[in-house]
């Protein structure tokens, strides 16, 4: 039995994780705490919002008094911490927002859990969801393991690295029962269209340029979001307290090859002549401090807990495109208003 505080459940990964836990564990109670920033959208959870074991609470993880009251009201036995500012480009224009939410917010959550669980840490779990970007940038060879030294290089990854360190500090100092996982780039349904894959799908649908930073040679290791949620489920239930697990797809793509694959599949699905969407590819100014390559070694997760990704990339991308094509209303809702302002600012000269 668990009563789980799941933060950031209205976001991309959080909504998939909420759905998985609400459906798979009807005996658990899941309380989704989300501030509903531009990235949080309750439309992501429409299919489970009336489930008896699910509750939504609007609130901010940086508000310690609010968190104390929430812990007192619900007697949580576990935290699944997904809430964060998550987009590297936004962290370059507004680093303080990332320090506030990712560092101060995680610190506040740790403190609230420590206070609520003082004297009885038995059967409690504080699970912190993190990223492979904390490890920095790889050259052409090698992989990130759990032992790779942290070397964050963007305000986003530095804020996530800080929060990871703080989680470990609470484990060593106060014996808070923590778990951490560091995952590679996710893709799939409900992904906000400021990130590369949903942005390109959106722009291909609307016949708009596909902005490729620099030469498009940067490499990311892509994992289908439901596979990430499944890995979190495995670590939550079977992972060891105090341990870190890397999660990745062994699925490396240069940005340009990935966007070309998207174009190929979308031409087919939209009945367009081969090569039509590729003509939209536009090389733009590179991201400042753009990390060259991320690649995860997920051997520990495979050997200790038996997790492997279920989907091949071409299949995952095909499912993802189909979802976006079938959910044009969702896309229209999230690409109006504030997003439009961000988009114009980010790409205005390019
Ligand atoms: P997202 O930006 O889609 O969602 C973040 C959610 O957090 C939103 O619902 C937002 O409203 C909420 N939130 C933001 N600030 C908050 C605050 N102060 N209080 C309460 N809620 C707040 O992010 P995502 O892509 O789903 O990422 C979720 C987590 O997974 C993050 O911690 C991220 O670092 C990590 N991660 C993401 C990826 C990826 O590829 N997206 C990969 C590895 C790890
Ligand atoms: P992104 O989806 O922002 O994830 P992250 O930076 O966290 O890996 O970007 C993925 C890659 O795509 C990254 O190398 C930056 C690049 N990119 C572009 O080339 N053009 C774009 O418009 C965006 C948003 C990203």
> Does the structural domain 3-187+225-249+290-310 have CATH classification 3.30.1370.60?
no
Domain ranges for the chain, please list them: 3-187+225-249+290-310
This prediction has a pTM of 0.97
Does 161 sit in the ligand 1 pocket, CB within 6 Å? no
Atom of ligand 1 nearest to the CA of 187: 40
Does 186 sit in the ligand 1 pocket, CB within 6 Å? yes
Q: Which of 85, 132, 194, 252 is catalytic?
A: 132
How far apart are the C-alpha atoms of 164 and 158, rounded to whole Å? 10
Q: Which residues pair with 220 in a beta bridge?
A: 253
Edge-to-edge strands, sheet with 252-254? 185-187, 219-224, 252-254
Neighbours of 81 (CB within 10 A): 26
Torsion of CA 94, 136, 9, 302, to 10 degrees: 180
Strand, coil or helix: 188? coil
Are the beta carbons of 67 and 114 closer than 8 angstroms? no
Q: How much distance in Å is there from the Cα of 56 to the middle of ligand 2?
A: 31
Strand, coil or helix: 30? strand
Instruction: Specify whether 133 is catalytic.
Output: yes
pLDDT per residue as tens, the chain (350 positions): 999 999 999 999 999 999 999 999 999 999 999 999 999 999 999 999 999 999 999 999 999 999 999 999 999 999 999 999 999 999 999 999 999 999 999 999 999 999 999 989 999 999 999 999 999 999 999 999 999 999 999 999 999 999 999 999 999 999 999 999 999 999 999 999 999 999 999 999 999 999 999 999 999 999 999 999 999 999 999 999 999 999 998 999 999 999 999 999 999 999 999 999 999 999 999 999 999 999 999 999 999 999 999 998 999 999 999 999 999 989 988 888 776 777 677 776 55
Residue 293 contacts by C-beta under 8 Å, 6 or more apart in sequence?
A: 137, 138, 139, 140, 218, 219, 220, 252
275 dihedral zone (left: phi>0; alpha: psi -120 to 50; beta): left
């Amino acid at each position: 039995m668990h009563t789980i505080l799941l933060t950031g459940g209205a976001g991309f990964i959080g909504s998939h994780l909420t759905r998985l836990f609400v459906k798979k564990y009807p005996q658990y109670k899941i309380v989704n705490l989300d501030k509903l920033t531009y990235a949080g959208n309750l439309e992501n959870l429409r299919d489970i919002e009336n489930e008896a074991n699910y509750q939504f609470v609007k609130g901010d993880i940086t508000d310690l008094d609010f968190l104390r009251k929430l812990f007192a009201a619900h007697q949580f036995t576990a935290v699944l911490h997904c809430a964060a500012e998550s987009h590297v480009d936004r962290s370059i224009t507004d680093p303080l927002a990332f320090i506030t939410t990712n560092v101060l917010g995680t610190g506040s959550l740790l403190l609230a859990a420590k206070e609520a669980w003082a004297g009885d840490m038995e059967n409690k779990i504080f699970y912190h969801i993190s990223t492979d970007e904390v490890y920095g940038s790889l050259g052409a060879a090698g992989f990130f393991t759990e032992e790779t030294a942290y070397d964050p290089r963007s305000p986003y990854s530095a804020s996530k690295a800080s929060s990871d360190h703080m989680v470990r500090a609470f484990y060593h100092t106060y014996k808070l029962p923590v778990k951490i996982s560091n995952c590679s780039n996710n893709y799939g349904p409900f992904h906000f269209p400021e990130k590369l894959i949903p942005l390109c799908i959106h722009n291909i649908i609307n016949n708009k340029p596909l902005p490729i930073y620099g030469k498009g040679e940067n490499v990311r290791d892509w994992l289908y979001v439901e596979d990430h949620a499944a890995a979190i489920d495995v670590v939550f239930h079977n992972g060891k307290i105090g341990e870190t697990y890397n999660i990745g797809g062994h699925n490396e793509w240069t940005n340009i090859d990935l966007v070309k694959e998207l174009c190929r599949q979308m031409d087919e699905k939209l009945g367009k002549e081969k090569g039509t969407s590729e003509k939209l590819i536009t090389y733009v100014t590179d991201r400042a401090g753009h990390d060259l390559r991320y690649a995860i070694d997920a051997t520990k997760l495979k050997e200790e807990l038996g997790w492997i990704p279920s989907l091949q990339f071409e299949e995952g991308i095909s499912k993802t495109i189909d979802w976006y094509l079938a959910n044009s209303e969702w896309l229209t809702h999230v690409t109006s208003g504030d997003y439009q302002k961000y988009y114009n600012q980010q790409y205005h000269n390019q």
